[in-house]
Amino acid sequence: MQISRNNKLCNKQELKDKELKNEILTIRDEHKNYGTERLTIALKRAKSVVHRIVKKFSLQIIRKRKKLVKPGDVDFKATEHKDLVKNICPIVPGEIWATDFTYLKFQNKTYYLGTFIDIFSRKIQGWNLSDCHDTEFVLEALKRSINNAGQKPSICHSDQGSEYRGLVFQEVLETCGIQCSMSPKASPWRNGFQESFYAGFKNDLGDINRFNSVGELFEAIALTIKKYNSSRIHTALKMSPEQFLKNFYLNRKHTQVKAASGISLLEKVAS
């Protein structure tokens, strides 16, 4: 019995599709929430091909986004601080950090995770977990971020949460020589860098009720942030934040070497 050429081609294509499906599943063992765009980068394949396989084998990820509301930060007088980072794109790391915190419901208690992110590299510089969201909570996150980064930002951007517009936090920023930037009142979504991070972070962290203690939750948060910084592909960067920083410093060093060589050559010609 002869098998038609078309059937052979179909069988060959089916095998290729299954191989690509398995590659996708292997990647998702490590990064379970990679959608089509990140998979395309990781696999180095055409987006149309990856999209077809994801659709064919029902590998789509359904994301649920909750509307951002901070009830305690609605009825207050707006601060005079301006949004200094609107329409600004930093060209070097460490110039502009954004900060915010998110809520984590665990064992019938609410915990708060505060972070500082470098807008240039999208790297989480530092974080703090607490069962209360006061000034000390955000200041500890800032302290850890400065220690980890080995530098202070020129600008710190946040929403107009009470923790950030309070006198103590503002005095610390002023003492450190950090300019304060804030989103307009009742517009926390204007701090999109942090909101985008938290959306992906919670998906990667998964159901926290699987943990038996706050200690286990703490370790999972640390691991998730470490993976985000070191290996998780950021769609805007097309790589992880740490890889993006590594490439930046290598390129800058290469440029400096070329510039130094050019100056040396000019000096020889002049002499």
What are the tens digits of pLDDT across the range 151-205? 999 999 999 999 999 999 999 999 999 999 999 876 655 677 888 899 999 999 9
pLDDT of 110 higher than 80? yes
pLDDT of 265 higher than 60? no
pLDDT of 112 higher than 60? yes
pLDDT of 70 higher than 70? no
pLDDT of 56 higher than 50? yes
Q: Which letter does DSSP use for residue 234 in this model?
A: B
**Amino acid 268: pLDDT:** 61
User: What's the chain look like in SS3?
Assistant: CCCCHHHHHHHHHHHHHHHHHHHHHHHHHHCCCCCHHHHHHHHCCCHHHHHHHHHHCCCCCCCCCCCCCCHHHCCCCCCCCCCCCCCCCCCCCCCEEEEEEEEEEECCEEEEEEEEEECCCCCEEEEEEECCCCHHHHHHHHHHHHHHHCCCCCEEEECCCHHHHCHHHHHHHHHHCCEEEECCCCCHHHCHHHHHHHHHHHHHHCCHHHCCCHHHHHHHHHHHHHHHHHCCCECCCCECHHHHHHHHHHHHHHHHHHHHHHHHHHHHHHC
pLDDT of 32 higher than 90? no
**Amino acid 263: pLDDT:** 60
**Amino acid 1: pLDDT:** 46
Q: Does the predicted model carry a pTM greater than 0.95?
A: no
**Euclidean distance between CA atoms 53 and 28, whole angstroms:** 14
Averaged pLDDT of the chain? 88
SS3 126: strand
Most confident range, picked from 25-34, 41-50, 168-177: 168-177
Query: What is the mean pLDDT of the segment spanning 63-89?
Result: 69
Tokens representing 29 are 């063992």
Query: What is the mean pLDDT of the segment spanning 64-93?
Result: 73
pLDDT of 74 higher than 70? no
